[in-house]
Amino acid sequence: MNRNARKWWRAHKQRVQQQAVPSHTPLHKELAENEQQLRALYDNCSDVVFRSFRIGGSTRALVVYIDGLTNTEELERNVLSVLMKTKMPKDSAIGKLLDNVVSVSQTNELATFEDCLESVANGFPTLLIDQQECALSFGLAKWEKRPVEEPMAEGVVRGPREGFTESIQVNMALIRRIIKTPALKMEQMQIGGYTKTKVVLAYIDGIVDMDLVTEARARLNRIDIDGVLESGYIEELIEDHPASPFPQILSTERPDVTCGNLLEGRIAIIVDGTPFVMIAPATLFSLLQSSEDYYQRSIVSSAIRWLRFLFTGISFLLPSLYVALITFHQEMVPTSLLISMAASREAVPFPALVEALLMEVTFEALREAGVRLPKQIGAAISIVGALVIGQASVQAGLVSAPMVIVVAITGIASFMIPHYIAGLAIRLLRIPMMFLAGSLGLLGIMLGIIVTVIHLSTIRSLGVPYLTPIGPMKFAEWKDTLVRAPWWMMNARPHLTGDYQKIRQGANQKPGPEKGGDPA
Amino acid sequence: MLETGKISALQIGMLIYPVVMSTAMLSGPSLMAQQAQNDLWLSPLWASLGGFFSVWIAIQLNKRFPGMSIIELAREITGKAPAAVLGFLYLYVLLQANAVIVREYADFIAYFLQETPLVLIMGALILVCSLAVKGGIEVMGRTAQVFFPAFILPLLMMIGLVFPALDPGNLLPILDKGLLPSVKGAYIPLGWFSEMFLISYLLPSLSDRKYAATSAFFAVVGAMLTMVIVNMVTLFLMGDALDNVLFPIMDTARYVNVADFFENMDSAVMAVWVIGVYVKVSMFYYATVLGTAQWLNLTSYQPLILPVGMLILLFCFWGVPSVYIVKEAAAVAIPALFVLFFCFIPAGLLLWAIVRGKRNRTEEAESG
């Protein structure tokens, strides 16, 4: 940004703030003045309700709230009706009202217009009383929200089925219900000039490296944006390498995943309005782990992890390997297989590279259409897709049958990656890999792999190298990366950055019949 | 300091091992067999002495001048003008050596991609390596760690798969003509082992310095053992025919046949071997770039990466007119050059430093 633009931006911001909020203007003593000012601010806001009444039939008062964000029943029962019947205390201390009359659990005293606007916007009905220089807000917010449901994108067979919702209060409660220690800290801040979105930075004091928290807090505080609609906005503004296709922050819909990571010393960033909670620092291998790995038996989980690694490799390389073998290294294909492959490719008019690109792009289009299209016609697209991709194209002689198989396996493989975004990154890299394979064969694939590894080695997520624990090698952490060791072996937490609490649990917990029931 | 990254001793070992092994694996057995015949398994033992020597020199120099590479410490020992000349020679040798390595790689790849122009094959590799050098020592160290198993495991697997066909009888008669042939066969690998002196450029960035010697020692021993094993396997498999085979390891790979499914794996060996070449070329590349920046007293080596890459590509054609000259140079001139520049000159510098009692007084303060 040049200097003029910056100047303009600063002036613009001031203008906006003057319009929106008379910042830190204290409330007046006269109710009429306050009401006039508030009505001016909420000009043309048909959803804001101003209700004037008299406390005990004498003192004038005003309740301001937003229709639809406030529990009006509670407001009527516990505030309005009680106040109308009572007498305003003589010493005119507003605290007395709170102590003796209003039966609402969460109340706040507000002194400025800014506070009033914020409290009204959050759904808290705000009470202004004549001859009082402060207002009262009542925690009676209530709006329509989705109930806690099973997460859509991260399913498990065994494990909790609760998923985060769009409400930050519910999400914080879901985490707090699992981690009950007061060491679980949740720092709240507001981001977004207009949306004023609540963002919460959660961590467990004593486990996390405080430098990590300081760094994350600093990065969040430097965000200057007009609105935050999803955690993705914030992710893009705090990550280390914006140009990389790989996600450097893990996002999850699951409270148990969030808590597991908090317990390993990571931080979580919860954003209001989205069920996706961000976790940092993330590594490539953390993106290849599912929460269910820790709930199933360890041997089974280890085997599934290997299967996942294998298919991650397949989803990255299979089409390009096919292209390279067919185009350059036919001698590596066993003779009988080569003959049947050659027979099915005989009628195909395209070179292998074009064929592969055609099919991969079609598959990606089908996938994207399947996500986006209305649920009612989902069946139609899958039928058309299966017919077009599968049978018709082969029968028409446009595509060979082995190519269809390759694309199908690759498609399945890419859905095995537990975190959808990581799968997208690998799918994206598949296309350049196919070009490399089509031009330089196996050498091209190798060079592509080397470049990918160089790139992955360059990335850090909040200071943690992305390829930990393979590069840099940390043998102690292999037992939760290459395999999933049983819980009684995982006595140490993974090392992220700086100082950390290394011991996770007591030693020598391997169960067995000889342990018996006697604790001595 | 130009390089702010830190690497571990383990990473140094894994960086330096492929530097020796990537060349040695491919053409080593036949080159050694030409001199040593069936005693070629002994040659790496003699040659590794050179490796121990150059690594020891590098570590001793690093102890006296922590935080300094050969270019910088030569300035401390000999003074400005001689160091400038010496530094220029070093950079020239590194550049030329790198060009020969890249040319050898390209000539080898050309067996598989006969219609692809050499300049494309070489340019692609140099471009890839330039990315690693741009990332600095940390990125190179991490990639070396990631690739290390990918470099070793296929080799072990291949040996396992040809195991039934091996004939240990080919080893006999042991030392039929005395020790001399095996010592002669050690001449070429001696050049490769001297390349281990490149750790001189890595040691200043080492985070756990007390393990430097251990790691370098294991790298030399590992390279020596691997070479002995590869030599033995190829000898057991091919016997007397070994010295006529250009790339014995490729023929070994072609021999592999598992259930009539995995066969003709030589292209796969090529793919694995590219990993080793990547590490080797980026090590030389990095040493050239960092050395040039130190020689010119620059504040950053980043601007030099692309120009030096272009120079390497040009040297591949200027310095190496044809594949036959490469072979001749690799057999005679290059080992001598490497031994001179990576063993004797550093040893001379160390001796000079000891005699004059010179060492870097500021020690850690400089290296930090």
Please report the pLDDT score of residue B125 as a whole number: 93
> Would the CB atoms of B113 and A328 count as touching at under 8 Å?
yes
Tell me the pLDDT band of A94, cut-offs 50, 70 and 90. Answer: low
Domain-embedded: residue B3: no
Is residue B281 over pLDDT 90? yes
Number of domains in chain B: 1
Is residue B361 over pLDDT 70? no
Please report the pLDDT score of residue A516 as a whole number: 64
Please report the pLDDT score of residue B1 as a whole number: 63
> Would the CB atoms of A471 and B121 count as touching at under 8 Å?
no
Closest CA to A252 of A312, A292, A225: A292
Between A106 and A297, whose confidence is greater? A297
Domain membership of residue B86 as a residue range:
9-367
ω into A151 cis (within 30 of 0) = no
Reported as a single tens digit per residue, the pLDDT across B128-177 is 999 999 998 999 999 999 999 888 888 888 888 888 777 777 777 777 77
Is residue B285 over pLDDT 50? yes
Domain-embedded: residue B339: yes
Closest CA to B99 of B342, B320, B248: B320
Reported as a single tens digit per residue, the pLDDT across A33-75 is 888 888 888 888 888 989 888 887 788 889 999 988 888 888 8
Domain-embedded: residue B301: yes
Is residue A386 over pLDDT 80? no
Please report the pLDDT score of residue A22 as a whole number: 52
DSSP symbols for A158-176: SS------S-HHHHHHHHH
For range A391-407, the mean pLDDT: 85
Let me know the angle formed at the C-alpha of A413 by A411 and A418, rounded to the nearest 5 degrees: 115
What pTM was estimated for this model as a whole?
0.88
Please report the pLDDT score of residue B127 as a whole number: 94
Q: Name which of A240, A241, A337, A458 to mutate to probe chain B: the one with the most chain B Cβ atoms within 10 A of its Cβ.
A: A458
Percent of chain A whose predicted confidence (pLDDT) is above 90: 27
> Would the CB atoms of A454 and B132 count as touching at under 8 Å?
yes
**Interface membership of B76 toward A (CB under 8 Å):** no
Neighbours of A178 (CB within 10 A): 16
Domain-embedded: residue B2: no
For range B189-195, the mean pLDDT: 86
Which element (helix H / strand E) includes A71?
Answer: none
Closest CA to B231 of B55, B45, B51, B16: B45
Domain-embedded: residue B118: yes
Alpha carbon of B121: minimum distance to chain A alpha carbons (Å): 8
The whole-angstrom separation of Cα A64 and Cα A51 is 6
Is the separation of the CB atoms in B126 and B309 below 8 Å?
Answer: yes
Percent of chain B whose predicted confidence (pLDDT) is above 70: 96
Residues A380 and A455 in one domain: yes
Domain-embedded: residue A80: yes
Query: Among A384-388, B8-12, B160-164, B202-206, where is mean pLDDT lowest?
Result: A384-388
In this complex, which of B131, B142, B267 lies closest to A465 when CB atoms are compared?
Answer: B142
DSSP symbols for A217-245: HHHHHT---S---SHHHHHHHH-S-TT-S
Reported as a single tens digit per residue, the pLDDT across B229-243 is 888 888 888 877 777
Reported as a single tens digit per residue, the pLDDT across A188-231 is 999 988 888 999 999 999 888 888 999 999 999 999 999 999 99
Domain-embedded: residue A178: yes
**Interface membership of B124 toward A (CB under 8 Å):** yes
The whole-angstrom separation of Cα A300 and Cα A447 is 34
Of all residues in chain A, the one with the smallest CA distance to B268 is A442
Between B259 and A284, whose confidence is greater? A284
The whole-angstrom separation of Cα B363 and Cα A135 is 67
CA distances from A238 to A233, A235, A270, A287, B176 (A): 9, 5, 14, 18, 70
Domain-embedded: residue A155: no
Question: SS3 of B13, please?
Answer: helix
DSSP symbols for A81-145: HHHHHS---TT--HHHIIIII---S-EEEE-BHHHHHHHHHTT--EEEETT-SSEEEE--B----
Residues A106 and A185 in one domain: no
Neighbours of B78 (CB within 10 A): 19
Domain-embedded: residue B246: yes
- How many CA atoms does the CB half-sphere of B340 hold within 13 Å? 11
The whole-angstrom separation of Cα A13 and Cα A192 is 12
The whole-angstrom separation of Cα A325 and Cα A470 is 29
Q: Chain B partners of A331 at a C-beta cutoff of 8 Å?
A: 264, 267
Please report the pLDDT score of residue B3 as a whole number: 79
Residues A256 and A327 in one domain: no
**Partners of residue A110 on adjacent β-strands:** A135
The whole-angstrom separation of Cα B165 and Cα B256 is 10
Neighbours of B303 (CB within 10 A): 12
Which of A247, A282, A317 is the last residue before a domain boundary? A282
**Interface membership of B118 toward A (CB under 8 Å):** no
Tell me the pLDDT band of A133, cut-offs 50, 70 and 90. Answer: confident
Please report the pLDDT score of residue A305 as a whole number: 92
Tokens of A42: 């909420």
**Partners of residue B56 on adjacent β-strands:** none
Is the separation of the CB atoms in B140 and B133 below 8 Å?
Answer: yes
* Contacts of A170-174 spanning 24+ positions with Cβ under 8 A: A170/A145, A171/A255, A171/A270, A171/A275, A171/A277, A172/A200, A172/A202, A172/A270, A174/A148, A174/A255
Is residue A520 over pLDDT 60? no
List the helix and strand counts (H, then E) for chain B.
16, 2
Residues A262 and A373 in one domain: no
Token pair 């080492």 is at which residue? B206
B/e letters for B41-71, b = 16+ CB within 10 Å, e = fewer, are bbbbbbbbebbbbbbbbbbbbbebbbbbbbb
CA distances from A189 to A68, A126, A198, A269, A272 (A): 24, 22, 6, 11, 11
Number of domains in chain A: 3
Q: Chain A partners of B275 at a C-beta cutoff of 8 Å?
A: 446, 450
Q: Name which of B122, B146, B273 to mutate to probe chain A: the one with the most chain A Cβ atoms within 10 A of its Cβ.
A: B146
**Interface membership of B258 toward A (CB under 8 Å):** no
The whole-angstrom separation of Cα B167 and Cα B232 is 10
Question: SS3 of B169, please?
Answer: helix
Under DSSP, the state recorded for A208 is S
Under DSSP, the state recorded for A387 is I
Closest CA to B226 of B174, B189, B270: B189
Please report the pLDDT score of residue A341 as a whole number: 85
CATH number at residue B134: 1.20.1740.10
Tokens of A331: 């001698």
Domain membership of residue A40 as a residue range:
21-138
Residues A302 and A268 in one domain: no
Reported as a single tens digit per residue, the pLDDT across B22-42 is 888 887 887 887 777 777 888
Domain-embedded: residue A1: no
Please report the pLDDT score of residue B140 as a whole number: 92
> Would the CB atoms of A443 and B261 count as touching at under 8 Å?
no
The whole-angstrom separation of Cα B131 and Cα B350 is 34
Neighbours of B156 (CB within 10 A): 11
Is residue A337 over pLDDT 90? no
Is residue A19 over pLDDT 60? no
Tokens of B56: 């020891």
The whole-angstrom separation of Cα B97 and Cα A334 is 39
Please report the pLDDT score of residue A254 as a whole number: 92
Please report the pLDDT score of residue A519 as a whole number: 55
CA distances from B150 to A211, B20, B153 (A): 36, 16, 6
For range B241-250, the mean pLDDT: 79
ipTM of this predicted complex?
Answer: 0.91
Is the separation of the CB atoms in A248 and A142 below 8 Å?
Answer: no
Please report the pLDDT score of residue A21 as a whole number: 52
**Interface membership of B84 toward A (CB under 8 Å):** no
Average pLDDT, whole number, for chain A?
85
Domain-embedded: residue A429: yes
**Interface membership of B121 toward A (CB under 8 Å):** yes
Is residue A434 over pLDDT 90? yes
Beta pairing, strands A59-66 & A107-110 = unpaired
DSSP symbols for B293-320: HHHTT-S-SGGGHHHHHHHHHHHHHHT-
For range A375-400, the mean pLDDT: 78
Domain-embedded: residue B58: yes
Tokens of A427: 């799918």
Which of A465, A487, A512 is the last residue before a domain boundary? A465
For range A106-134, the mean pLDDT: 85
Which element (helix H / strand E) includes A40?
Answer: helix A31-41
Q: Which residues of A touch B (CB under 8 A)?
A: 328-329, 331-332, 334, 440-447, 450-451, 453-455, 457-458, 465, 467, 470-473
Q: Chain B partners of A450 at a C-beta cutoff of 8 Å?
A: 128, 132, 143, 147, 274-275, 278
Domain-embedded: residue A431: yes
Residues A385 and A344 in one domain: yes
Domain-embedded: residue B232: yes
ω into A255 cis (within 30 of 0) = no
Tokens of A280: 């940092």
Query: Among A11-15, A281-285, A315-319, B272-276, where is mean pLDDT lowest?
Result: A11-15
Is residue B319 over pLDDT 80? no
Of all residues in chain B, the one with the smallest CA distance to A334 is B261
The amino acid that residue B299 corresponds to is T
Closest CA to A322 of A299, A306, A305, A344: A344
For range A416-432, the mean pLDDT: 88
- Which residues are CB-contacts of B30 (< 8 A; sequence separation ≥ 6)? B234, B242, B243, B244, B245, B246, B247, B248
Domain-embedded: residue A134: yes
Query: Among A129-138, A481-490, A502-511, B356-365, where is mean pLDDT lowest?
Result: B356-365
Residues A447 and A385 in one domain: yes
**Interface membership of B254 toward A (CB under 8 Å):** no
Please report the pLDDT score of residue B365 as a whole number: 43
